Amino acid sequence: MKLENFVDRTGEMRRFDEMLAHNAPSVMVVWGDSGMGKTSLLAKMVHRVSAQGLKKIEIVWTDTRNYDFLGIMRKCRDDLGAAHFEAFTRETNRATPTVEFQVKVDGDLQLFNRASITHSQIGDVTGIAIRDNMFNLPAESESRVSERMMLLTDAFFSDLAAYLATASKPVVLFLDAVEKMSAESRKWLWGELLAAIRDERLLGLVVVTCGRDKPERSRDFNDTVDEAELGPLGIDDVCEYLEARGITANTRELAAMLIAARGSKPVDVATAVDAYLRSRPQAPS
Amino acid sequence: MSADGDSFRAFLTNIAERSSSSVALLLESLDEAEARYLRLCAIPHEFSPIVLTLLHPALDIDAAQRVCDNLANLSIVAASGRDYVLHDSARHELFAAWLTPPSTEFRDISARLVLYYEQLLDGAEPIAFSVIERKRMFHLFGSDLDAGLAEFEHLFGKNRREYRLNVCDTLVRLAGEYMPLFDAARRSRLTYAKAKLAYDRGNFVETVGLLRDAIANSADDELRVRMLNRLGIAHDALKDVPAALDAFARAERLAHDRGLWRQLVRVKIHEADAIRHQGDVARSEELLRTVLATVDVVNDPLLCVAIHNSLGELQRQNNEIDRSLASFDEARRLVAGVDQSVIAAQVEHNIGAVYSQIGDWERSREYYERSLELNGGRNVLGEGRTLLSLANAWLAMGETAEQAEKYASAAYGRFEHVGAVRDMARSRRVLARVYEKHGRKEQARMAMADAAKLFRRIGDTASADNATKEIGEMGRRTPLPWWGWCALIATVVFIVLIVVLAIAIIADR
C-alpha cells in the first residue's frame, strides 16, 4: 500500500505519537501476517518522524541481508554520526585484525584488488577448530563470540547513552522484517538493547520492531513494550482506500464485494485495485 | 464515477468466480510486456534498472528505468534505497513459477546475474562483499544447480568457522528457495548444513531429527559417514552415550567398508571423547591408541599430533604424570616435523601445565617461555593463556611480585585484544592474588572487583560470587599497620584507666 493511500492503523499511529511525546513505553512491537501492511505502517511512522525532525535509524532485514548485533550497532553509529561513537569504533577495530604484508619483488609488482583482505570483519581472528578434542587451540566458539559481543555492546551503549543525553529529542530506531533476523540477533535485541531501554540505561531511544510473529518476551518488559497486532482491514477502511484510489461511487457495496472476493488483507485489497485500474481501459463500462 | 463504480462491480463479479491468486490476477491485468517484466523481476531479490537490463537484454538502461518507474506504481513493488523490491509473498509466487520446470531462459538469466555479481565483488566494501557473495551464490544455483550447491557449502563452511551463524542462516534460506529442484541427495546435503547450524546453536534435539532424515535419504557414502559422525556427537551432547556409540559404530562400519580411512579416524576420535564423557577414561585411551596404530594409513602427521596431545591431556587429568609427559613428548617430536609453530607452542604449553600440576614451577616456566617464543604472537589467545600460566607459576613461587604482575597484565592485554572476557576476568583474579600476596591490599581488592564485574557480565555468577567472597576475605585477612596497633593499644589502655578510675570513685563513696 503506497504511503499516499495509507488507511486505517490510526490507533497504532496515535500510540506511536504518544510514545514520541512521552517517551514511555519506549518500545513498540508490531506484528501480523504477511500482507497485513506492517511495512506500510512503518513507512508512515518513518514519515512522521522525519516531519518532526527527529533522528532515525532504519534497518530492514531482507532475504540477502541479515544484520547481526554488530551490523545493527554499526548502522546506528553510521546514521547518528561516527564522531559520537569513538569507544565503540575503537573496540570494533581492536576486534578486527590488521594484517600487514611485506612483499619483496624483483621487477614490477602487480596488485589485484581481490588479492588484499578487504572483507575482514569481527570474527576473523580464528584458530584451528578441533571441537571437544582436548586440544586447547582457539576456535570461534559461541562463548568467545558472545564475550566479544558483550565488550562491543558495552562500548556501544556507553557512546549511545552519552549521545542521547545531549540530544534534546528522542532518537527512533526502526527494525523491519525482524522475522528474518537470526536467533542470535534476536537474543541480542531482547537481551541487550531492549533490556538496556527497559533498565533506563538508554533514555531517549525509541524502538519500533515489525515482524510476522509475536515475539516471546518476559514479563519484565510489560512496562517498556507496547504491542500492536495488525489484522485485516475493516469495511470502512476498504471504503476509504477505494476513495483514495479514485473509486468514489457506491464504495460501501463495492468494498463488501471486494472483501468477499479477495479478503481484506491490505496487500490483496491493494493488488485487486491495481489489477482493476490497470485493466480498466479494456473493462466493460 | 457511476460508470467507474459499474465497471469495478463487473470486475469484482468476474474475479469472485475465480480462485487465482492476487498476483496472478494482477499479471492478467497488465499488458504482456509489463507482465513479463514483473515475472523477470522476481528472479533476483532486488532489482534496479541495471539488473533489469540483465534480466531483459533487449532493454537499454533508459528503457529499464522507465519500466522500473512504471512497476513502482504497483502496490506490491516498493523502493528500497536505489533498488526496488517485490512484496515477499508476490516474489515467492513468481519465483516458484520459474522453477517449474526451469527454462533455458531462466538458466541464461541466472548465468548473467552470476557474472554481474562476480564483477561487483571486485573492490566491494567488506559488508557489501559478503552480501554480493550471497547473491552470486543464489544465482549460481539457477545457472548450475551443483555449482550453486558447492558454492553454498563453501560459503557455509567459511562463515560457520568464523561463527557467523546469522550469515549461515541466510545462506540456508537462499539455498532453500531451490528446494523444488533438489533430488534426495541434494536435499540431504542442505539438511546436513541445517543440522550443523542447529548443532552450533546448541539445539541438539533438532540436530538429531534433521540428521536422521538426511541419513535416510543420502546415497553418498562419505556424506553419510560424516552425518553419522555428527549424529554421534549430537547424541553425546545430549548425554545419550549408547545412542552416540551406536551412531559412531554405524559410521565406522560404513567408513571401513568404503575405505574412507580419514573419516574413520575422525569418527574414532569422537567416539573416544564420548567414552571419556561416560567416565571410562581407560577405554577412551585404549581407543585412541588403536587409532594411533592405524593412523599411518591416512598419512596425516597433524592428526597424530592431535591424538598424542589428547592422550597427554587425558593422562594429565588422570594424574598419570609420566605417561602424560611421554605422550606430549611424542606430540612434540611429531610436530617438529611439520612447520606448525602455533601447534608446537600449544604442545609446549601443555607440557608446562603438567609440571605446574606437580609443583615443578621452574620447569613449567621453561616450557611456557618456549611456548611464547614459538607462538611469536601468531595466536593471541593462546599467547594470553600461556602468559597467564606464567603469572600463576611466578605467583606460586612467590619470590617477587614483579614478574607475576608483568605476566598477568600482559595476559589481560591479549585477552582484551581478542575480546575474551572470561579470560580477562581470570587474569584480573590472578593479578589480585599477586597484589594480595605482596601486601598491596587496595590494589588487590580493586583487581578482584574488576574480575567479579567481568564474571558477572558474562553470566558466570558462581565465579563472580567467589571473587566477591575473596574480596571479603582479603578484608578479614588485612593486618593492622604499626600505627593501627598503637592506636588500638592506646584505646584499650584509655578504657582500662577510665574503668579503674570509675571503680575508685565508686569505692571512695
Q: A284 touching B, CB under 8 A?
A: yes
Distance CA B319, CA B2 (A): 95
Q: A184 touching B, CB under 8 A?
A: yes
pLDDT tens-digit map of B236-294: 999 999 999 999 999 999 999 999 988 898 899 899 989 988 888 889 889 988 888 77
Task: For strands B83-86 and B77-80, give the pairing.
Answer: antiparallel
Distance CA A140, CA B341 (A): 20
Can you list the positions of beta strands (E) in chain A? 27-31, 55-60, 171-176, 205-211, 225-229
Task: Specify the pLDDT at position A23.
Answer: 67
Q: How many CB atoms lie within 10 A of CB B58?
A: 7
pLDDT tens-digit map of A197-228: 999 999 999 999 999 999 888 888 988 899 99
Distance CA A263, CA A265 (A): 6
**Helices and strands in chain A: count of H runs, count of E runs:** 10, 5
Are the beta carbons of A268 and B22 separated by less than 8 Å? yes
What is the least distance, in Å, from the CA of B258 to any CA of chain A? 25
Task: Specify the pLDDT at position B445.
Answer: 94
* Contact list, A90 vs chain B (CB under 8 Å): none
Q: Please, where are the H alpha helices in B22-179?
A: 22-29, 32-40, 49-55, 61-71, 88-98, 104-121, 126-143, 145-161, 165-176
| CB nearest B29 (choices: A150, A181, A279) | A279
* Structure confidence at residue A117 as a pLDDT band (50, 70, 90): very low
What is the least distance, in Å, from the CA of B5 to any CA of chain A? 5
Higher pLDDT, A120 or A240: A240
Are the beta carbons of A126 and B458 separated by less than 8 Å? no
Among B310, B304, B392, B315, CA closest to B356: B392
Among A122, A124, A179, CA closest to A153: A122
SS3 (DSSP) at B99: coil
Portion 316-375 of B in contact with A at CB < 8 A: 342-343, 346, 349-350
* pTM for this predicted structure: 0.79
Are the beta carbons of B170 and A142 separated by less than 8 Å? no
Average pLDDT over residues B189-196: 96
Phi–psi pair at B120, nearest 5 degrees: -65, -25
ipTM reported for the complex surpasses 0.95: no
Distance CA B256, CA B265 (A): 10
Angle of the B441-457 helix axis to the B461-477 helix axis, nearest 10: 170
Portion 464-503 of B in contact with A at CB < 8 A: none
Whether the bond between B101 and the residue before it is cis, its omega within 30 degrees of 0, is yes
What is the least distance, in Å, from the CA of B276 to any CA of chain A? 11
pLDDT tens-digit map of B382-416: 899 999 999 999 999 887 789 999 999 999 998 88
Is residue A102 pLDDT above 50, yes or no?
no
Q: B158 touching A, CB under 8 A?
A: no
pLDDT tens-digit map of A25-75: 799 999 999 889 898 899 999 999 999 999 999 999 998 888 989 899 999
| CB nearest B75 (choices: A184, A246, A274) | A274
* Structure confidence at residue A111 as a pLDDT band (50, 70, 90): very low
Q: Cell for A248?
A: 468514489
Q: B9 touching A, CB under 8 A?
A: yes
Amino acid at A180: K
